[in-house]
Amino acid sequence: MNSKSLNKIYNNSLLGPMIFFAVLLCIPLVTSSNYVFSILTMVGFYALVCIGLTTLTGYAGQISLGHAAFYGIGAYSSAVLTGTYGLNPWLAIIIGAVISAIVALIVGIPTFKLKGYYLALATLGFGIIVFTLFKELSSITGGSNGFFGIPSISLFGFEFITDISYFYLIWIVVFLAILFMRNIIHSRIGRGLRSIEGSEIAADAVGVNLMSYKLQMFVLSAIFASVAGSFLAHYVSFINPDLFVANTSIFFLIMVIIGGKGNIWGSIVGAAIYVLLDELLKHYVPLLLPNVGGEFEIVFFGILLVLMLIYMPNGLVPQFEKIVSKFKRKPSANSTLQSISANATGGDNK
């Protein structure tokens, strides 16, 4: 037996991710519109947050309504450490991630001692507290006016300034994050997490420490959100607390639901659809209904969330996979069945 047999359980092939990213990185050959790149870069930031959040939701079964806070902690850590103190941006990203991890531990430890959906409540409150801090600690964060002049990020002498350079940067990070998360899911850790969903009592009985696993996933998802926030800060060079309100946390959750909770690729799909719909709404709603305020977004996405949960609770990507596999399996269904039953009788004869 070797790693080939391992592939019978887990698809660890690099082919899929490579093709996807090769196509993505070829987009600059087709267009040079800064608008397109700025949109795709935003999708990248959101996707990075969602990769962590979808795993927390789909595998650890926990709902966080406070990931915008970690997104914000990353952004403000980077802003303050590089803008005010002149630290190296990469070092600032790491410090921001460490701060987010520690904060996640502080929120998570007491919460996970309780059974049920207390994380949702705890993170909702926590998100509001963090938002208030961003706003009120104006001597550090610039308060409601925002934080100006965040320096750009550079690597080996190359400075990331243009939209297209950030597009490359964030999507390479997303690529690495996807591989990292997939590796986790296809391992002891992933089985431990899935066992909780399969049967909590049996997971406990085989020695899986449920609380520790939920906590670890929460911390990891906080780190992902924080890193995304850090890159966002360098990209837009100006941040204000309104980017990190509770609504943002809910939008992250909506992206996760659209793509399919627990589906890593779904986080990219969810982020892309969210950004696309959001842009369309911003363009067309004022044309159709000139008197409508900014609240239509939350109404629209609220309705979308309800419809998704009723008609497609597993999200778009699993739905799509189902359809594809239906078409794929039809011709070979008989032969697979035969080989299974042949194996079965072979086993009985032993």
Q: Which residues bind another protein (CB under 8 A)?
A: 1-3, 5-6, 8-9, 180-181, 183-184, 187-192, 194-195, 197-199, 201-210, 216, 220, 340, 343-344, 346-348, 350
Closest approach, Cβ 170 to another protein, in A, equals: 19
Packing angle between helix 264-288 and helix 246-259, nearest 10 degrees? 120
Closer to another protein by Cβ: residue 83 or 108: 108
Closest approach, Cβ 210 to another protein, in A, equals: 7
Q: How far apart are CA 339 and CA 335, in angstroms?
A: 6
Closer to another protein by Cβ: residue 205 or 276: 205
Q: How far apart are CA 218 and CA 256, in angstroms?
A: 15
Q: DSSP code of 80? A: I
Distances (CA, A) of 139 to 80, 100, 105, 142, 242: 11, 21, 27, 6, 17
Closest approach, Cβ 145 to another protein, in A, equals: 39
Closest approach, Cβ 350 to another protein, in A, equals: 7
Closer to another protein by Cβ: residue 35 or 180: 180
Closer to another protein by Cβ: residue 107 or 220: 220
Closest approach, Cβ 204 to another protein, in A, equals: 4
The DSSP secondary structure of 34-50, one letter per residue, reads HHHHHHHHHHHHHHHHH
Closest approach, Cβ 287 to another protein, in A, equals: 46
Closer to another protein by Cβ: residue 144 or 209: 209
Hey, which residues does 158 pair with through a beta bridge?
Answer: 155
Hey, which residues does 155 pair with through a beta bridge?
Answer: 158
Closer to another protein by Cβ: residue 114 or 307: 114
Closer to another protein by Cβ: residue 79 or 203: 203
The length of the chain is 350
Q: How far apart are CA 126 and CA 136, in angstroms?
A: 15
Dihedral angle computed from the Cα positions of residues 48, 278, 241 and 55, in that order, rounded to the nearest 10 degrees: -30
Closest approach, Cβ 229 to another protein, in A, equals: 20
Distances (CA, A) of 288 to 103, 248, 280, 295, 333: 44, 25, 12, 15, 50
Q: 251 is written with which tokens? A: 């939008």
Hey, which residues does 153 pair with through a beta bridge?
Answer: 160
Closest approach, Cβ 2 to another protein, in A, equals: 7
Closer to another protein by Cβ: residue 202 or 309: 202
- Name the nearest CA neighbour of 170 among 15, 24, 316: 24
